[in-house]
Amino acid sequence: MRFSFWTVVLALCCLEVGAQTWLQTALERSNGTLDVRSFPGEQCLRQCDDTQPRICYFSWTMEHYHVMGPACRDCAKGKREDCYHPACITADGVERGVMSINRKIPGPAISVCRGDLLVIDITNAMGGTSATIHWHGLHQRATPHMDGVPFITQCPIGFGNTFRYAYHATEPGTQFYHSHSGHHKVNGHYGALVIREPRKDDPNGDLYHYDTPAHVILGSDWMHIDGEMFMPGLPSAGGIMPVNLLINGRGTFRGSPQTPLEVFYVRRGARFRFRFINAASHVCPLQLHIEEHTMEIIASDSFHLQPRKVDTLVTTSGERYDFVVDASGARDTYWVRLRALGPCEQLQLEQYAVLSYIDTPIPDAAFPKERPPPYEKPFLSVATINHPNATCGQPEFEDYCITDLQAYDTDETVVNGLPDHQFTLGFYNYPVSFNDMFERRPYEHFMNIHANIMLQGAINNISLAYPPFPLLTQPEQIDESMFCTSENRPARCADRQLCTCIHRIKIKQGALVELYILDLTPSVGDLNHPFHLHGYQMFVMELGQDRRVPITIEIAQQIARQRLRERNAAGLPPRKDTVSIPSRGYARVRFRADNPGFWLMHCHYEWHTAVGMALVLQVGETDQMVKPPAGFPKCNSYTPPVEDLLMEGL
């Protein structure tokens, strides 16, 4: 496991001067090669104020594994120390098969400094299953082939193979990683990725005393069967819904053995930076509340925000929020409460963790004697951010939207410039018929919600089909006729509204792009779809809805004009890479298309992506894109003419 001389030279090109000097010295001392194993990633956790960038190496194995398996020994019988064996996954105490990374759920945490070079060797030991890992929140400007989207930026990692992800920690803040294959994320493939920056570069750095890995919260939904059981679905299941929530992979479930809760330790009189990551897969927003404590929001999706105190925080899948907690409570312990909203409210899903002011040993603190508050006990919710029914832009309400918060700086050319491209993207889960799915087009993707209700996800009446090879790394295979748009549909779709094809929108490099993202769902509800754009930050200019009528581009533009008149200026709009679209409403976002490549844009709900609620943005021409390293894996369909095979002696 060594870096070649030229691999390190390429790395040097992307580092700042100080890092170049350090890495060049290390290279010279090692006679042109570096043993990457001599740079364990765990040692990259450090203060980032006065430090040189480092190489941070991780070795991961993806496995088919299990919750409460033999590695947990007598955990289920009340032997608490067995619950903490490194290979024991307790989750909520219900036995089930899972997908794990290094026999952990969540997977190993990454904590590095801005500018570090991350090298992660991932071995796929999951028999019969291929996979990739996406580094959510990193723009991968120098390494777009490391974005981790199968058949867009790379071939999936096959069973028995090892793939080396190598990229720079360029975007500081709270990021995370997760599988971008199948339903691996809901089965356990996700984890924290925190990129720290010098305190002096954080405009909110004086608001907290401590910022440690011990205060990272990963909220996720959980099932007791594989996610693939619901693809395409089970007619009698009553919907594709979770049965529980987890906090950092821990929790309890009614009727199961008592398993440990997560514990967050604080010291009275100090202020702590917490980082919340919504790693959920289903359609339910997650609401976080810490008893008798406020949360001072200071960042979202790794971008700094001017502080705003709230009592509860609501997020959708893929979003991250950083907040400060002032440890001024009078009691020794408090409950951290996480519950599912929207379509999950009727399920009354809630999970708990412990906020402790005393140094009780983990095995004791994680099994509190006190019973958690019942679901019927409401959250203190004087001020909430991102409530599904929030009315954005009306200050008389204390249900804040992300657009009610302000950044510290902006890019005037983006915020006030004249867009080169303006696209309207209307998304919807389309009902499909028995005839379509089983007679006319029997092999298109769909999800069976319940009974005979079947849906395909789509944007602008197109449900995304993936190409048989990665567009970014095998551009020589591209045939322009393989792509489609709403204006250029294949002939086979002439007789239908909904078309399944490779949906690509092409954008000139450097262009200013404005997107109106519209929720065309016919019924009003609390289902806010989170849209994630790979490779970019988006300036969130407006969020809005008119719950009296279905949204249209004309209504969205009318609301946007009214908002601008009310504010008299765009202000300092926040930046996000994952935007939660108001139910049956819209978002208006902008970005500068200065990162060439093929980038996926999709609803971050796992099943919606799987059934086509996604598209590919091609920024620039293929000759303007970063080329993959020599020997980068290739794949494609294999259907040679039979006569060619006969010539080979078949």
Per-residue pLDDT of 161-207, as tens digits, reads 999 999 999 999 999 999 999 999 999 999 999 999 999 999 999 99
Q: Give pLDDT, residue 14.
A: 44
| Gap between the Cα atoms of 248 and 278, Å rounded | 11
Mean pLDDT of 5-16: 40
Cα torsion at 352, 281, 286, 291 (round to 10°)? 20
Containing H/E element for 610?
A: helix 606-610
DSSP-assigned states of every residue in 616-628: EEEES-GGGSPPP
Strands 462-464 and 499-507: parallel
CATH class of 54-385: mainly beta
Q: Give pLDDT, residue 30.
A: 55
Percentage of the residues of the chain whose pLDDT score is greater than 90: 77
> With bands split at pLDDT 50, 70 and 90, how would you rate the model's confidence at 419?
very high
Length of the chain: 650
> With bands split at pLDDT 50, 70 and 90, how would you rate the model's confidence at 393?
low
**Closest among 14, 69, 6 to 34, alpha carbons compared:** 6
* pLDDT single digits (tens) 24-58: 555 555 556 788 989 999 999 999 998 899 999 99
Least confident of 67-71, 153-157, 375-379: 375-379
| C-alpha radius of gyration, the chain, whole number | 24
Least confident of 325-329, 335-339, 569-573, 619-623: 569-573
**Closest among 466, 446, 432 to 607, alpha carbons compared:** 446
Burial class (CB in 10 A: 0-12, 13-18, 19+), 454: buried
Q: Give pLDDT, residue 644.
A: 78
Mean pLDDT of 105-131: 97
Structure tokens at 347: 């399920």
* pLDDT single digits (tens) 577-594: 999 999 888 999 999 999
- Mean pLDDT for the chain? 91
* pLDDT single digits (tens) 305-339: 999 999 999 999 999 999 999 999 999 999 999 99
Q: Give pLDDT, residue 144.
A: 98
Q: Give pLDDT, residue 9.
A: 34
Residue with tokens 């696209």: 423
**Closest among 233, 175, 172 to 532, alpha carbons compared:** 175
| Gap between the Cα atoms of 460 and 503, Å rounded | 10
Mean pLDDT of 597-608: 97
Beta strands in 258-370 (DSSP E): 263-265, 271-278, 286-290, 295-300, 303-310, 312-315, 320-326, 333-340, 350-356
CATH class of 412-619: mainly beta
Q: Is 366 helix (H, G, I), strand (E, B) or coil?
A: coil
Q: Give pLDDT, residue 28.
A: 54
Q: Give pLDDT, residue 7.
A: 41
Q: Is 80 helix (H, G, I), strand (E, B) or coil?
A: helix
Q: Give pLDDT, residue 392.
A: 72
Q: Give pLDDT, residue 571.
A: 81
DSSP-assigned states of every residue in 22-78: HHHHHHHHTTT-EEGGGSBGGGG-S--SS----EEEEEEEEEEEEET-GGGTTGGGT
Same fold for the domain at 54-385 and the one at 412-619?
Answer: yes
All residues at 6 or more sequence positions from 86 whose CB lies less than 8 Å from its CB, including other chains: 103
Question: What residue segments make up the domains of the chain, in order of their start?
Answer: 54-385, 412-619
Instruction: From residue 235, give the alpha-carbon distance in Å to each of 223, 325, 372, 642.
Output: 17, 45, 35, 41
The answer to whether residue 289 scores a pLDDT higher than 50 is yes
**Closest among 480, 472, 578 to 150, alpha carbons compared:** 472
Structure tokens at 484: 């489609």
The answer to whether residue 108 scores a pLDDT higher than 80 is yes
Q: Give pLDDT, residue 559.
A: 73
Mean pLDDT of 367-395: 82
Which alpha helices (H) appear in 510-570, and where do they start and end?
553-567
| Gap between the Cα atoms of 426 and 461, Å rounded | 8
The answer to whether residue 3 scores a pLDDT higher than 90 is no
Q: Give pLDDT, residue 382.
A: 81
Q: What is the amino acid identity at position 72? A: C
Mean pLDDT of 208-217: 97
| CB-CB contact of 171 with 575 (8 Å) | no
Cα torsion at 199, 200, 201, 207 (round to 10°)? 60
